[in-house]
Structures are given as C-alpha cells and as structure tokens.
Copies of this chain bind each other. A is one copy, B any other.
Amino acid sequence: MTTSTANTQALTLRYGQQSVPAAGPWSSTIEGLLAHRSVRKYKPTPLESGTLETLIAAAQSASTSSNLQCWSVVNVTDPAIRSELAKIASGQKHIEQCPLFLVWLCDLSRNRRLGEAHDIELTSLELTESFLVGVVDAALAAQNAVVAAESLGLSTVYIGALRNDAERVAQLLKLPQGAFAVFGLCIGYADTETEVKPRLPQPAVLFENHYSTPNEHVLRNGYDETLGEFSRRHEMAHDTWSARVIDRTQKKAAVGGRAQLKSILERLGFPLR
C-alpha cells in the first residue's frame, strides 16, 4: 500500500467519504494517531514490565506551562478502590478489568508544599488561571501517555465520569488539598473490535483569522448523516450527533454530579478566584 493510499484510507475512516480533507505529509506516528479508538473491553493480559514507567516518561515529556509541572498521576492497583471508582463512573466495568488504570490530577499541591518549605505563600495558586494551567498540564501529559500506549499496541479510554463525584475520588485516593482528579484512563489489550469514529468535517472546527460559520448547518447535517450510519451499525442510542449533543447538554441533570463541580472544587482547594 502506498503512503498516499494509507493516508486516504485513514482519513476516510475519520471523516467519511464526503469530507476527506486534502492532507499532505504523513508519518507512521500520524498513522497511529488517526487510528485512535476508545476501547471499553480489555483482556486480562498483564502489561510488559516497565510499561508504566515508559508511559509516564512519555507523559512527562509533554509541554508544561512555565515548567511548573502542575500535574500528578495515581496508578490504582487496589481492586477495592477500582471497584469504588467504577461505581462513581456509573458502573463502567472496564475500570475494574483493565490491567492499568491511571487517575490524572490537576495538582497545585506540590508547588504549594514547595512554597511552605520556604515559608512563602504562593497566592496565585487560588486563581482560575492556576486551575486552568493544572488541567491543561494534566491533559497534555495524559494524551502523550495515550499516544505512547497505542504505539505499543495497547488501547485506552478516558474516564471523565470520575467527575460524577470528584470529592469521593479525592477521598479514595487520599488527595491533598489542591489536587483534583480530572479524569481516569484505562489501558490494556483490547478484547473487542472497534471502528474509528468519524468526526466533524474540518471546515466546522478550523477557521482562518476570524471565527466564521456561514455553512455550519450544512456541515452539521452532513455529519449527522455520517455519524448516523456509524451509530446504526453499532446500535447506539442516538441516531444523529445533534440528538446526542442535545440529550447530553440540554439539562444540567444529564451531567449528574458534575453539575456540582464548582462547589466541589472549592472544597478541594480550588476557589477559582
């Protein structure tokens, strides 16, 4: 298969026949990125020794704002804690089944302790900006771990549903004030075949100089069709993307305990000033 054929095939799976972008240069790493699928069923096969350390080295190699390194990660090996976390995440069984489950933290507490060691109060840590820095740091690090894992033939899925009860997660993992579990991540060998999920066409998310949406409804309708085919093949609850977005975001109740995130964050040491 030529590079250009592989490239077209990967782009067609990601965007559907109608919306293949005019992509250019290609690499085996990019091939891997394009092939990403979230996997929710894992074999019990344990990971090769040293895999965790490799993934964390990849994670720490990501950019971090001003090298402040405002993130940490908890490797949850205790089945009792896994079981509690799965309950918080509406019973997602793969949290208990996967060989490696990592919880990624926005962590301002390490730098607060550093200040305390020098008898200095780091007042900027209470700002919304500092919270944002920690969340972005954690996300960049985690994504590098995902890319590294997939390059080793492993599969992954992010678990945002830990935020259904971020306070209980903090208790279970004994997090100090100023640390917050942004999401979990399951890692292991896939025990299921999954298809690449199509995304919105590029013109719906990419703008030049100014944000502008003259054809948005046309792009959306096309995407509803593309994702509709995908959803019907997988017997998913919602035919179209539009229906799913509306269902997920119409009522605050649909996001469950996550609607309380603001007050929970305050209790966890993030006043978001």
Instruction: Please give the residue numbers on chain A whose beta carbons come within 8 Å of chain B beta carbons, in ascending order.
Output: 10-11, 14-15, 21-30, 32-36, 38, 48-54, 56-58, 60-69, 71-78, 81, 105, 107, 110-111, 113-115, 117-118, 120-125, 127-130, 132-133, 135-136, 139-140, 142-144, 146-148, 151-152, 157-158, 160, 163, 173-176, 179, 182-183, 196-197, 199-200, 202, 204-213, 216-217, 220, 241-242, 244-246, 248-252, 254-255, 258-259, 261-262, 265, 272-273
Contacts and interface: CB of A to CB of B under 8 A. Distances in A.
Among A23, A123, A241: residue with most chain B CB under 10 A: A23
Contact of A127 (B73, B210, B259): B259
Contacts of A32: 29
Copies in the complex: 2
A31 to B, nearest CB: 9
Nearest to A50: B24
B143 A60 contact: no
